[in-house]
Chains A and B, each alone.
Chain A
Amino acid sequence: MNLAFGDVRYHRLKFFSSTLGVALLIMVVVTIGGIIRGVILDSSTLIESTGADLWVVQTNGAHPEVGTFGPFVEISRLPESIYHAIAAIPGVADASPIVTAWEHVPQMPRPTWLMKFMYINALLNTRTMVKPRWMAMPHAQRFEVVGYELGKIGGPPVIVAGRGIEASHYEIVADVKTGFHVGQRVRLGNFDYTVVGLTRNMVGFTADPVIYMSLRDAQHFLFQTDPNLLRSERAVARQQAADLAATSPRLVPALTAHDEARLANTLYVNAIAVKLRPDANAAAVAAHIHSWEHLAVYTAAQEVNLQLMGSNRLILFQLSLFRDILVLIAGIVIGIIIYTFTLDKVHEIAILKLLGARGGVVYRMILQEALFMGIVGTLVGSALELLSEPYFPRRVVATSGDIVQMLILMSVVAAGASILAVHRAVRVDPRSVLSTG
């Protein structure tokens, strides 16, 4: 006969409501862990998914010995042609030009009821913190454009619908989070693009979904001067040419050619992703690129570090601290619950002792109840977390490892709390049953 089982069965409402409370606490703890992992994944997947070993970026203008934090968290601009030179360096298997920038389309997918709810909820939460229009629902969808040379690294790692980019113009692959569908035509800049495929889990470190396109398209889209601006620039150039014609007519063609080249040139890239041969020495290749090409080189790990520690550091620190606090609170709450459950049983414990129950019988009952609450609470809380993950606006990813860790942690907390409770149980005097006067 199991006393803990009997107690739980009889006081099931009390036990299950307390366990549910514990479960919700655990759910929040596991969720915070999942949010932390989400931030880490958001900061790293774009880089990890290319499979590049090295990232070549522009050096810092003021300090040429160090690089810019490009291409994702800082502007980095290189002439496109340089990738041929890098590809020729011994040890380099592939050098792939990458263009990337944030862009937006002035259209939003229809918000789901959940999005609407979260928006209204955010409005209510921030009503004393924001001025009018600060929290207006955006009418534009932001995303990160990544342009890559077809057939080289840097493209979408998986296609979940449709196909990859095959034509070198006007085809895009979008992350499912954009809300685009295969076959949809999307106007970006001055051109219409067709969504030929969808990919998944590809977001920038700001959690904006990625749109892949060919390098040429991306260069046109991102670097081409706006036609209206171009028109006025050309007018200025024509005026300059006319002025020059008055004094040095022989120089006019050269100036005109220079201006045209300047206005039309889009042959830039933001970074070059380098894949090394298996036997290559990464440090030697990096040193070579740095000294001969005057470019900055980061390993993939350093590149992730720029995003994680450069951009998302503080949110990560804050969430980690917050998680510690929640674990502490969960521990204290479970401890208090178990202790008060024990206080509720002082009389029964006295009866048990009077009936000749060894201490172990009482301690086992308390420990089993505590473990029941800790373990069932953790399992239920983790299940709730896993079920709710897809509904979070940002990526939340808890793993079985997280849950096992919580199980161990909560078992320890439960055992610790029952030690306190047992401490109380030891002091229960069996004579208290008899003292009726």
Chain B
Amino acid sequence: MSMTQQSGNAVLSAESEAGAFAIRAERLVKVYGAGLTRVEALKGIDLVVRPGDFFAIMGPSGSGKTTLLTILGLVTEPTAGGLEVGGREIYGGRMPDLARIRREETGFIFQAPNLIPFLTAKENVLLPLSLAGVRGKRAQDRVAELLTYLEVAERAELYPNQLSGGEQQRVAIARALANTPRIILADEPTASLDTDRALAVMRLLRRISRENGTAVLVVTHDHRLIGEVDQVIEMEDGRIVLKESKGGGDAAQQANPGGSDS
């Protein structure tokens, strides 16, 4: 399948050719340690995420959710299995520049906002742009646009410790969006927020996914939040045990335990 990519003209957009995969994972296995300390964190994960998909990953602690996210985010190398991100084969042949793909294709959102404490809100959002080599007015405009989009524009010059928890999380989301990533990987982004704020964050991610065609994977424990998502992926003991489509999105699809549909 051809997966030509095309950079979106809309500033907030990460459009891709319809039908192309944002992520395609095949039989991902991850083993930590060896001998007595050996842990098989992932035991063969098949997963397809299309642009605009908004998935929730749920499952008990230790079921492998974070591990899966770090593999999809190219931070952890899988022990076995295939992975394509944005149409690029990652661990097939010659290894591509992972840091670069991470910079340009993926945005991370964590449970803690994990902003750089010595940079202002504005500079935190500027950071990924700066790392990707985007400078000058273009970068400044992009930052202003994102801060406005996330309703923290008037907090731009403040340091993270001067912001409320919710504001910090929104700045963190703005940072994740800065390089118009195709994929947003969020690991329990709502765990430290109360239900109202958590819902607000989920709706925001939903909106980003819809408006920009960004694929969003959110790990969450909270069943009250999954009304927004297209699909819930249930994990247990390193396996996907259930893929349940929800009415949340327009791209709802059937659970497909086989994973591969190409």
Contact = CB atoms under 8 A, between A and B. Distances in A.
Interface stretch (B43-51, B126-134, B145-153, B205-213): B126-134
Interface of B: 61, 66, 69-70, 73, 75-76, 99-104, 108, 110-112, 114, 116-119, 123, 126-128, 130-132, 159, 175, 187-188, 191
Given A9-B118, A11-B118, A348-B117, A436 B127 contact: no
Interface in A1-27: 1, 3, 6-7, 9-11
Interface residues of A, number: 25
B75 A434 contact: yes
Contacts of B100: 356
A227 interface: no
5 contacts: A3-B116, A351-B116, A354-B108, A356-B102, A436-B111
A356 B128 contact: yes
A157 interface: no
Interface string A351-375: 1111111100100000000000000
Q: Is the interface of A mostly helix, strand, loop or mixed?
A: helix
Given A1-B130, A355-B127, A437-B61, 18 more contacts: A1-B126, A10-B118, A10-B119, A352-B131, A353-B99, A354-B73, A354-B102, A354-B108, A355-B102, A355-B103, A356-B131, A356-B132, A357-B131, A430-B75, A431-B70, A431-B75, A434-B69, A436-B187
Given A10-B117, A430-B75, A436-B188, A1 B127 contact: yes
Contacts of A347: 114
Interface of A: 1, 3, 6-7, 9-11, 347-348, 351-358, 361, 430-431, 433-437
Contacts of B130: 1
A356 B127 CA distance: 10
Return the 5 tightest CB-CB contacts between A and B, nearest first: A356-B103, A10-B118, A356-B102, A1-B130, A7-B118
A433 B131 contact: no
Chain A CB within 10 Å, residue with most, of B61, B111, B116: B116
A358 B99 contact: yes
B70 A356 contact: no
A436 B112 contact: yes
Contacts of A3: 116, 119
B112 A355 contact: no
Contacts of A433: 108, 110, 114
Contact of B118 (A6, A361, A430, A437): A6
Contacts of B159: 10
B118 A356 contact: no
Nearest to B130: A1
A360 B62 CA distance: 34
B114 A351 contact: yes
A358 B102 CA distance: 11
